[in-house]
Amino acid sequence: MGKLARPGPGKLQFIPLGGLGEIGKNLSAVVYGNDIILIDCGLAFPEPDMPGIDLVLPDITYLLENKDRVRAIFLTHGHEDHIGGIPYFLKQIQVPIYGTRLTLGIVEMKLQEHQISLHPKSHPVDPGDTIRVGSFSVEFFRVNHSIPDATGLIIRNPVGTIVHTGDFKFDHTPVDGHVADFHKLAQVGSEGVLLLLADSTNAERPGYTPSEKTVGKTLDRIIEQATGRVLVSSFASQVHRIQQVVESAVRHGRHVAVVGRSMENVVQKATELHYLDFPEGTWMSLDNILKQPANKTLILTTGSQGEPMSALTRMSTSDHKKVEIMSGDTVIISATAIPGNEKMVARTVNNLYRLGAEVYYGPNIGIHVSGHACQEELKLMLNLVKPKFFIPVHGEYRHLVHHAQLAREVGIDPSHVLIGENGTVFELTKDSAQIVGQVPAGKVLVDGFGVGDVGNIVLRDRKQLSNDGILIVVVGMDAQSGLLVSGPDIVSRGFVYVRESEALLDEARSRVKSALTAMEGGNLSEWSAIKALVRDTLGRFLWDRTKRRPMILPIIMEV
Amino acid sequence: MGKLARPGPGKLQFIPLGGLGEIGKNLSAVVYGNDIILIDCGLAFPEPDMPGIDLVLPDITYLLENKDRVRAIFLTHGHEDHIGGIPYFLKQIQVPIYGTRLTLGIVEMKLQEHQISLHPKSHPVDPGDTIRVGSFSVEFFRVNHSIPDATGLIIRNPVGTIVHTGDFKFDHTPVDGHVADFHKLAQVGSEGVLLLLADSTNAERPGYTPSEKTVGKTLDRIIEQATGRVLVSSFASQVHRIQQVVESAVRHGRHVAVVGRSMENVVQKATELHYLDFPEGTWMSLDNILKQPANKTLILTTGSQGEPMSALTRMSTSDHKKVEIMSGDTVIISATAIPGNEKMVARTVNNLYRLGAEVYYGPNIGIHVSGHACQEELKLMLNLVKPKFFIPVHGEYRHLVHHAQLAREVGIDPSHVLIGENGTVFELTKDSAQIVGQVPAGKVLVDGFGVGDVGNIVLRDRKQLSNDGILIVVVGMDAQSGLLVSGPDIVSRGFVYVRESEALLDEARSRVKSALTAMEGGNLSEWSAIKALVRDTLGRFLWDRTKRRPMILPIIMEV
Domains along chain B? 7-207+370-451 (3.60.15.10), 212-360 (3.40.50.10710), 467-558 (3.10.20.580)
**d(C-alpha A233, C-alpha A217), whole Å:** 16
- Report the predicted TM-score, pTM, of the whole model to 2 decimal places: 0.94
pLDDT of residue A524: 54
pLDDT recorded at residue A254: 97
Is pLDDT at A440 greater than 80 in this prediction? yes
How far is C-alpha B321 from the geometric centre of its chain's CA atoms?
29
> B72 with B94: CB under 8 angstroms?
no
Q: How far apart are CA B97 and CA B72, in angstroms?
A: 6
pLDDT for B10-48, tens place per residue?
999 999 999 999 999 999 999 999 999 999 999 999 998
Residues of B39-69 as b/e, b for ≥16 C-beta within 10 angstroms?
bbbbbbbbeeebbbbbbbbbbbebbeebeeb
| Interchain proximity A474–B557, CB inside 8 Å | yes
Contact state of A453 with B489 under an 8 Å Cβ cutoff: no
Distance CA B171, CA B182 (A): 11
Continuous segment of H or E residues that includes residue A485: strand A484-493
Taking only residues 388 to 447 of chain B, the set having a beta carbon closer than 8 angstroms to any beta carbon of chain A reads 396-398, 401, 447
β-partners of residue B256 are B283, B298
At B470-498, the pLDDT tens digits run 999 998 888 777 778 888 999 999 998 76
Distances (CA, A) of B38 to A230, B123, B153, B463, B470: 43, 16, 11, 35, 45
Please check whether residue A346 touches B, CB under 8 A: yes
Q: How far is CA A475 from CA A232, A530, B310, B557, in A?
A: 59, 9, 41, 9
Q: What is the pLDDT of residue A517?
A: 84
> Is A1 a residue whose pLDDT tops 50?
no
pLDDT in tens, B259-309: 999 999 999 999 999 999 989 899 999 999 999 999 999 999 999 999 999
List strand residue ranges (DSSP E) for A316-366, in order.
330-333, 358-360
According to DSSP, the residues that pair with A383 across neighbouring strands are: none
Q: Is the pLDDT of residue A531 over 70?
A: yes
Give the best residue of B113, B470, B485 to mutate against chain A (max A CB count within 10 A).
B470
Is A465 close to B463, i.e. CB distance below 8 A? no
How near does any CA of chain B get to the CA of A486, in Å? 9
Neighbouring CB atoms inside 10 A of A113's CB total 9
The contacts of residue A281 (CB under 8 Å, 6+ apart) are none
Please, what is the Cα angle at B515 between B514 and B518, to 5 degrees? 80
What is the structure's pLDDT at A477? Answer: 81
Q: Which residues of A are catalytic?
A: 199, 372
pLDDT at A105: 95
Average pLDDT over residues A331-341: 95
For residue B58, pLDDT over 80 is answered with yes
Say yes or no to pLDDT of A241 above 90. Answer: yes
Residue of B nearest to A501 (CA): B453
Answer yes or no: are the C-beta atoms of B61 and B94 closer than 8 Å: no
Residue A39, beta-bridge partner list: A28, A74
The rounded distance, in Å, linking the Cα atoms of A130 and A123 is: 12
CA–CA distance, B267 with B263 (Å, rounded to integer): 6
Query: How many Å apart are CA A489 and CA B146, to the nearest integer?
Result: 53
Rounded to 5°, angle at Cα A334 from A331 and A338: 120
CA B490, chain centre distance (Å) = 42
Q: Could you tell me if B68 lies within 8 Å of chain A, comparing CB atoms?
A: no
Q: Over chain B, what is the mean pLDDT?
A: 94
Mean pLDDT throughout B322-339? Answer: 96
Q: SS in 3 state form for B242-270?
A: HHHHHHHHHHCCCEEEEECHHHHHHHHHH
- Residues of the binding site of B: 52, 54, 77, 79, 81-82, 145, 167, 368-372, 394, 447
Which value, in Å, is the radius of gyration of the alpha carbons in chain A?
29
- CA max distance for chain A: 88
Catalytic residue (one of B40, B181, B199, B468): B199
B387-393 and B358-360 as β-strands: parallel, antiparallel, unpaired? unpaired
Residues contacting A414, CB < 8 A, separation 6+: A408
Q: Are B136 and B157 in contact (CB under 8 A)?
A: yes
Q: Which of A473, A517, A477, A476 is nearest to A493 (CA)?
A: A473
**Least confident interval from A226-235, A501-510, B306-315, B382-391:** A501-510
- Beta strands B484-493 and A230-233 are unpaired
Which of B461, B474, B527 to mutate to probe the A interface, most A CBs <10 Å?
B461
Nearest C-alpha neighbor of A504 from the set A461, A541, A549: A541
List of residues 6+ apart from A118 with CB closer than 8 A: A90, A96, A97, A104, A107, A108, A111
**pLDDT tops 70 at residue B447:** yes
Task: Output the pLDDT for position B482.
Answer: 74
* Chain B partners within 8 Å of A558 (Cβ): 486
Pairing relation of β-strands A387-393 and A193-199?
parallel
Q: How confident is the model at residue A357 (pLDDT cuts 50, 70, 90)?
A: very high
The residue-averaged pLDDT of B225-233 equals: 98
d(CA B383, CA B170): 14
Residue A344 CA to residue B396 CA, distance in Å, equals 13
- Report yes or no: A332 and A233 within 8 Å, Cβ to Cβ: yes
Question: Which among A525, A524, A542 is positioned nearest to A533, based on CA atoms?
Answer: A524
Considering only CB atoms, which chain B residues are within 8 Å of A454? Answer: 496-497
Nearest by Cα to A381 from A207, A175, A168: A168
Task: Choose the weakest-confidence range: A291-305, A513-527, B397-411.
Answer: A513-527
pLDDT tens profile B231-260: 999 999 999 999 999 999 999 999 999 999
Asked if pLDDT for residue A519 goes beyond 80, the answer is no
Q: Are the C-beta atoms of B375 and B206 separated by less than 8 Å?
A: yes
Compute the average pLDDT of residues A193-210. Answer: 98
Which residues is B553 bridged to in the sheet?
B472
Residue B9: the pLDDT is 86
Q: Which of A466, A476, A553 sits opposite B491 (nearest CB)?
A: A553
Determine the pLDDT at residue B1: 41
Annotated catalytic residue B372? yes
Mean pLDDT value across residues A48-57: 94
Give the closest residue to A515 by CA, choosing from A487, A553, A479, A493. Answer: A487
Mean pLDDT, chain A, rounded, equals: 94
Please indicate whether residue A108 or residue A501 has the higher confidence score (pLDDT): A108
**pLDDT-derived band at A184, boundaries 50, 70, 90:** very high
What pLDDT score does A57 carry? Answer: 98
Put simply, whether B495 touches A (Cβ < 8 Å) is yes
Q: Cα torsion for B119, B121, B124, B130, to the nearest 10°?
A: -130
Band of the pLDDT at B524, cuts 50, 70, 90? low
**What's the confidence (pLDDT) of residue B8?**
84
Which chain B residues in 355-394 lie under 8 Å from chain A, judged by CB atoms? 359, 362
Mutation site for B-interface testing, chosen from A331, A348, A422, A462 by largest number of B Cβ within 10 Å: A462
DSSP B353-371: HHTT-EEE-STTSSS---S
The pLDDT of residue A558 = 78
Strand pairing category for A12-18 and A424-428: antiparallel
Q: Residue A492 belongs to what H/E stretch?
A: strand A484-493
Quick one: B436 exposed, middle or buried, by C-beta within 10 A (0-12, 13-18, 19+)? middle
Question: Which of A9, A26, A7 is CA-nearest to residue A18?
Answer: A26
- Half-sphere exposure in the Cβ direction for B503 (13 Å, CA): 3
**Residue B143 near residue B150 (C-beta atoms within 8 A):** yes
Residues of A323-354 as b/e, b for ≥16 C-beta within 10 angstroms?
A: bebeeebbbbbbbbbeebbbbbbbbbbbbbbb
Q: Are the beta carbons of A363 and A390 closer than 8 angstroms? A: no
* H/E stretch holding B193: strand B193-199
Contact (CB, 8 A) for B233 and B301 = yes
Residue B546 CB neighbour total at 10 angstroms:
19
Find the mean pLDDT for residues A40-53: 95
The amino acid that residue B501 corresponds to is S
pLDDT at A501: 82
Among A209-213, A449-453, B142-146, B504-508, where is mean pLDDT lowest? A449-453
Q: Of the candidates A295, A300, A319, which has an alpha carbon nearest to the alpha carbon of residue A309?
A: A319
Does position A2 have pLDDT exceeding 60, yes or no? no
Cα gap A383→A381, rounded to integer Å:
5
- Residue whose C-alpha is closest to residue A353's, from A333, A325, A334: A325
Dihedral class, residue A160 (left if φ above 0, else alpha if ψ from -120 to 50, else beta): left
Of A340, A401, A457, Cβ closest to residue B343: A340
8 Å CB contact between A375 and A406: yes
Taking the Cβ of residue B544 and every Cβ of chain A, the question of whether any pair is shorter than 8 Å is answered with no
Give the residue from B139, B7, B6, B125 showing the smallest Cα distance to B432: B7
> What pLDDT shows up at residue B521?
59
